[in-house]
Chain A
Amino acid sequence: MIRGTARPRSDWRGVVVPVICAAIWVAASASGRWNPHLLVPPRQLAGAFVESAKNADFWLAVSSSLLRLAVGWTIGSLAGVLLGIAIGASRLAERFAAPSLNSVRQVALFAWIPLLTAWFGDGDTAKTILIALAAFFPAALNTEIGCREAPASLIEVGRVFEFGYWARIRRIILPSARPSIVAGLQIALTSAWIGTIGAEYLIDQGAGLGVFLASARMDNRMDVVLVCIVALGLIGFVLSTLLRLSFVRGAFVRDAVLADD
């Protein structure tokens, strides 16, 4: 009567497309028909990786971006989850806040840059706010949906057991919304990472991978541009994997009715 769960296995078929793309790239560069400045040959790219790995400025750029991301994502997703709970769990809050939220959400993220830089200057404040905004909307939206979709049948059980407002939120709404909140935080992380690089690239001040990318582009170093792109993808992938694993292990939310549950 106890049922087990199956685990998905990794699949070799996922590497087929990248391998084919790499083969086309190698063949195209070897043919010599394209400008090596635009289509960087594999050997030059490998050299650029080694060069960047030895470059202290590159690592400063990576760490600056990561720090900015951490601060912006934390602020934005925390605010988003809190507002999402408020709107998702209360009709009144929904009536007041949801229309504004849905309108502001329609504004393209980078359209805020002129306003933010005018108010806060070219420094970290404007960038962090932009990153927080990037994280805020997906976190708020997913949390709101998750909370609103808490099963009415379970909320009724809470009524029968005389749960108060906080018990209803803590015992029923948050645990049912948990998968949706986790998904929201993951999307928020990806969105915040895009926001980080975009803000750095467009504001183009201080240290950061986006700034590093912009200057490589100015110097016409396509190989370094490619290194940046690979680094961006890799960092994004690693971060979202780490986040997913920490949630799968249940490190964040526990609903203990009894101690030591």
Chain B
Amino acid sequence: MRCWPMTEYASTAHASLEIRGVSKSFVVDDSDVHALSNVSFSVEPGEFVSIVGPSGCGKSTLLRLVAGLDSPDAGEVVFDRERVDGPSLRRGIVFQDHRLFPWLTVEANVALGLLKTGGSDAQKRKTARRFLALVGLDGFEKAYPHQLSGGMAQRASIARSLSAQPQILLLDEPLGALDSLTRSQMQAELLRIWQHERVTMLMVTHDVAEAVFLSDRIVVMDRNPGRIRGVVDVPLPKPRNRHDPGVLALTETLVGRLETAVP
């Protein structure tokens, strides 16, 4: 199909993520909303972990805490043995909306992840193109975001996050805004990128089948207050077949659990 470029770095390993007793409240209409209450779990280097749960369970809040965009009221997030207290290039995040800069070409958008790294513009362009090829956007370097379909824009956004060569990639419902066909294609792409780049991924999703298709482990959350209900191992080999009885059975079990959780 395509000739994949060699990965130039192999240092993604050994950085694990630990979330220790994290709580977070927001004040909404003069009353406290407990978005997260005493949440703890960890993600090992190279793992693909998904967080599923009903809306309002604080799963996106949790991801923002890991990204360093917000800080917890109690507890701490530790990444690679360091306490997280702000955003870092080592922790990339892909949002549900692609958030590409509309005034920049796709290539220049991807190069935003390289602003802080040294090297000539020619090298940066080469790196940007390598990541665009990785997400299957070769030929669209000079296109502007408004010229892309939703799925293509989200691919460009993933390429932008990967170009900074993060050790963990946080995905906040990255495929939530896509139609179902594009969505399943993108799930396969994500799996391929994860396998190729060997980058740790932590994904928030409300789609249980998506989580089962991609993850090594699934964190199931509950709401009011947002907390962990359980962590499920997915010991099935990848790539998985969506119609495999094991995949279907696990999906059904998880959906059942989530339905009983919601009053």
Binding site for B on A (CB under 8 A): 1-3, 153-154, 156-157, 159-163, 167, 171-172, 175-176, 178, 255-261
Contact = CB atoms under 8 A, between A and B. Distances in A.
Contact of B104 (A2, A153, A178, A255): A255
Nearest to A156: B69
Interface of B: 67, 69, 86-89, 92-93, 95, 97, 99, 101, 103-105, 107-108, 111-113, 115-116, 121, 124-125, 128, 143, 146-149, 152, 164
B101 A172 contact: yes
Contact of B112 (A2, A3, A257): A257
Nearest to A254: B103
A163 B121 CA distance: 18
Contact of B69 (A159, A176, A258): A159
B101 A175 contact: yes
B108 A261 contact: yes
Question: 8 shortest A-B CB distances, which residue pairs?
Answer: A257-B108, A259-B121, A175-B103, A257-B111, A159-B87, A258-B121, A160-B87, A1-B149
Give the interface SS of chain B, mostly helix, strand, loop or mixed.
loop
Nearest to A260: B121
Given A153-B97, A162-B87, A178-B103, A2 B143 contact: yes
Contacts of B67: 160
Contact of B95 (A153, A171, A175, A176): A153
Contacts of A161: 87, 89, 112-113, 115-116, 164
Given A160-B69, A257-B111, A3 B99 contact: no
A254 to B, nearest CB: 10
Contact of A162 (B88, B97, B101, B107): B88
A258 B109 CA distance: 10
B148 A1 contact: yes
Contacts of B116: 161-162
Contacts of B97: 153
